[in-house]
Structure 1
Amino acid sequence: MELTDTHTHLYYLYGTPELASQMQRCFDNGVKYCLLPNVNSESIPKVLGTIAAYPNNCFAMMGLHPCDVKANYRQELLPIEQAISKNKIYGIGEIGIDLHWDKTTLPLQQEAFRIQTGWAKEARLPVSIHCRNAFDELFELLEEVQDGRLTGVLHCFTGNTEQAKRAIDLGLHLGIGGVVTYKNAGLDKVVTELDLRHLVLETDAPYLAPVPHRGKKNESSYLLDIAQKIADLHGIAVETVATTTTENAKRIFGI
């Protein structure tokens, strides 16, 4: 069985013994591939160092996280753009819109999103999109920039069925993580209505650990618990979930 974590920040552990420990637990649980979304200029060396240590298992994405979009965002984008030009990159991310922490930066976030989706389309790379408290704003932007060339994943999807179908219609797959295992989140009901061909798996480690690890730091090896939950919801074998979602991830990201 091969599982693919399409969104994990395990590179935060680069330079520590815990990275090797977590990677071994990934292998033990069938998690073979990990996509690493960059968040700002400071995280670039950690992403690149991790993929150098695990070149057959870890794959880099480069982008500026919306929470890191500040007044100087154009300067912050420069080293990210340079990293894209100098390294093998499998996606543009983590990009998006976040109105949970700071609504005042929305115009800056929107412009950063336009720039980075432009990179993605020009380079024929998928995007990994973060959206928090901003579905309406995000969909408006996606309708603006989608010209048939934009592909990728709406990561950590926690919306309703209507929002899921709208994202799919806009050319995106949905990244399903630990929230699907939360009793009162409602995501389980949405996932039950979705065909697996539209889904990929993710942990967003070290955040949003799935049940039975909720409340602890998340890690990519816990992807197996997410896959098992989706298998239970669809009444199919976990191996089928692993195979289908990994095939989706390979097709999207070209790994």
Structure 2
Amino acid sequence: MSTFSRAMIDIGANLTDPMFKGIYNGSQKHGSDLNRVIERAFANGVEKIIITSGCLEEVHQSLEVAKTSENLFTTAGCHPTRCLEFEKSDQENYADHYMGNLVELCEENKEKIVAVGEFGLDFDRLTFCPKDVQLRYFEKQLEIAERTKLPLFLHCRNAADSLLNILIKNREKFNEGVVHSFDGTLEEAEKFMELGLYIGINGCSLKSERNLQVVKQLPKERMMIETDSPWCEIKQSHASFPFIKTKIESKKKEKFDENFAVKGRNEPSNLIQVLEVIAAVKNEDIDELAKCLYENTVNLFFNQKVTNV
């Protein structure tokens, strides 16, 4: 447990993304700086990072990174936009084989894999995977949670009703979890919380004034924070931007310097900004808020009961 008064845990960072290898839209702009990104996060109050995995291959990649530090962890699952992977082979029962591999990885890496996911539904990007395929394999992946007893790390975009219906139908298969990168309504959040789920907040959750009003009304006891880096940074155009107090120095990728963040590429060191916005919007003492969010996260993902930070 950290003695840092404002210890934070980033529950979702895409550290296997090519951007952290210096690759943007398929073009190499600079060398890999992932190690410096991680160091910068730890130097700015981030105690632990959960690396999000979006497919079987990514679980292997995430585990490789997670094993470089006792404070890095990962998830295991298939993102809704990638669920066609379950059907990419003509091999008989390939979907069951894919599922079996995910379960096996969870069972063999209990010290590193802390949740099932990132999985769920994304009806905003049906060009990547049809709705019927998403629905089928979201429900099927709940079997992983049932078998491993791991919490859920859920993705939901423009699909709350369908996600809720499937979760209610399969309530006996999971205990707890989090709906990450939440940008829905207060009513949707309340329905998720009734199922024992937490609400994950990042820059994409804080874009509009409507978003801020939802966050203001969420109970801090059911909230967690994340960056979803390299995505979901808090931009100047966001309603939340005026509440930011801490800014990590950055340079454009064309002027890359490993001692600085890359401008426009979110990273876990920016987690403090999410905390600052939530504290301001909810009119909460930032240290007390940080303590509560830290406890929520450790209790869910790390099987510890925290009473003091």
Return the TM-score normalized by structure 1.
0.91
Q: Displacement of 1:78 after TM fit? A: 4.2
Contact 1:157–1:176 at 8 Å: present in 2 too? yes
Indicate the residue corresponding to 1:188 in structure 2: 212
Q: Residue 93 of structure 1: which of 105, 111, 117 is its match?
A: 117
Of 106-115 and 33-42, the range deviating more from structure 2? 106-115
CA deviations over 1:61-87 (Å, ceiling 9, x no partner): 100011100133715434323322321
Q: Counterparts of 1:197 and 1:8 in 2: how far apart (Å)?
A: 22
TM-score under structure 2 length normalisation: 0.76
In structure 1, the residue matched to 2:43 is 28
* Structure 1 residue 17: Cα displacement: 4.0
Tell me which amino acid in the other structure corresponds to 2:99. Answer: L
Q: How many residues align?
A: 253
Structure-2 change in CA distance of 1:65 and 1:166 (3 Å):
same
1:219-234 aligned at under 5 Å gives the runs 219-234=267-282
Alpha-carbon offset, residue 2 of structure 1: 0.7
CA shift at 1:122, angstroms?
Answer: 2.5
Residue of structure 2 equivalent to 1:210 = 234
Instruction: Give the number of the structure whose alpha-carbon radius of gyration is greater.
Output: 2
Would the alpha carbon gap of residues 148 and 65 (structure 1) be closer, same or farther in structure 2, given more than 3 Å must change?
closer
Tell me by how many angstroms 1:148 deviates.
7.4
Of 80, 86, 89, the residue aligned with 1:66 is 80
* 8 Å Cα contact 1:128/1:153 also seen in 2: yes
1:53-202 alignment runs, 5 A limit = 53-55=68-70, 57-70=71-84, 71-72=87-88, 74=95, 76-88=98-110, 89-102=113-126, 105-147=130-172, 149-182=174-207, 184=208, 186-202=210-226
The answer to whether the Cα contact below 8 Å between 2:182 and 2:205 also exists between their aligned partners in 1 is no
1:119 is aligned with what amino acid?
I
Range 121-130 or range 224-233, more displaced: 121-130
- Match of 2:16, as an amino acid? Y
Q: Distance in 2 between matches of 1:66 and 1:24?
A: 31
| Matched residue SS, 2:274 | helix
CA distance, structure 2, for counterparts of residue 85 and residue 213 of structure 1: 43
In structure 2, what residue type is equivalent to 1:10? L
Long gaps (5+) in structure 1:
none
In 2: Cα distance, 1:181 partner to 1:97 partner: 21
Which is helix-richer, 1 or 2? 1
| Residue of 59, 62, 75 corresponding to 1:44 | 59
Q: How many angstroms apart in 2 are the aligned matches of 1:100 and 1:209?
A: 20
In 2, Cα distance between the equivalents of 1:203 and 1:171?
22
Identity %: 27
- The Cα of 1:181 is off from its aligned counterpart by 3.7
Work out the CA distance in 2 between the residues paired with 1:148 and 1:60. Answer: 21
Distance 2:237 2:177 in 1: 28
- The alignment partner of 2:118 has SS state of strand
Is residue 5 of structure 1 aligned with residue 10 of structure 2?
yes
Number of the residue aligned with 1:19: 34
Deviations 1:83-124 (A, max 9, x none): 223212211010101111217622222221222212112321
Moved more, 97-106 or 40-49: 97-106
In 2 relative to 1, CA 102–76 (structure 1 residues): closer, same or farther, beyond 3 Å? farther
Partner of 1:254: 302
Q: 1:149 Cα shift?
A: 3.6
Pair 24,213 (structure 1): closer, same or farther in 2 beyond 3 Å: farther
Q: Is the 8 A contact 2:212 2:281 kept in 1?
A: yes
